[in-house]
Amino acid sequence: MDHLTYNIPGLLFPAISLLMLGFTNRFFGLASLSRQLLAEYETSKSEVLAKQIHNLRFRISLILYSQSAGILSLILCTCSLGMIPFYNLVAWIFFSISLLFMVVSLILALIEIHLSVNALDIERESILDPTTKIKS
């Protein structure tokens, strides 16, 4: 195994920072939409809104887990940098685990994106065919 240098884990910092910024922006957008839909649901008690609110809640939890995995990735990457001068094998292990958490974070974000398309389908179906009942 090659010697781990500061450059290799250092490349992860900008990527993780950009991911965290994107996740935070998505979270704020979904939280705002959730509040808006909850206010509408109080007056209409629409089944379509209930389905969308349920979908939003799950998507928000996926973003929470994505952010958590991203933060763990950043912490482990930092630990990897700290271990380089002392014990290179441990630095490689920390770096490898940080990459794993970054992949987990990206997979969760991908699932959330797919769910956002489902939410758009619910909205589209309710507008194009208002007589159709949404199945739970």
pLDDT, tens digit (0-9, with 9 covering 90-100), for 6-15: 888 888 888 8
∠ CA 23-25-27, rounded to 5°: 70
Residue given tokens 């010697």 in the structure block: 3
Q: Report the distance separating Cα 98 and Cα 12, nearest Å.
A: 9
What is the structure's pLDDT at 100? 95
98 or 12, which is more confident = 98
- And the tokens for 131? 């007589």
Q: Report the distance separating Cα 9 and Cα 94, nearest Å.
A: 10
Residue 134, pLDDT > 70, answer no
**Closest residue by Cα to residue 1 from 96, 100, 86:** 96
**Ramachandran region, residue 45 (left: φ > 0; alpha: ψ -120 to 50; beta: rest):** left
pLDDT confidence band for 136 (50 / 70 / 90): very low
Cα Dmax for the chain: 67
Q: What ranges do the domains of the chain cover?
A: 6-126
What is the structure's pLDDT at 96? 92
Whole-model pTM above 0.85? no
pLDDT, tens digit (0-9, with 9 covering 90-100), for 39-65: 888 888 878 788 888 888 888 888 999
**Whole-number percent of the chain with pLDDT over 90:** 24
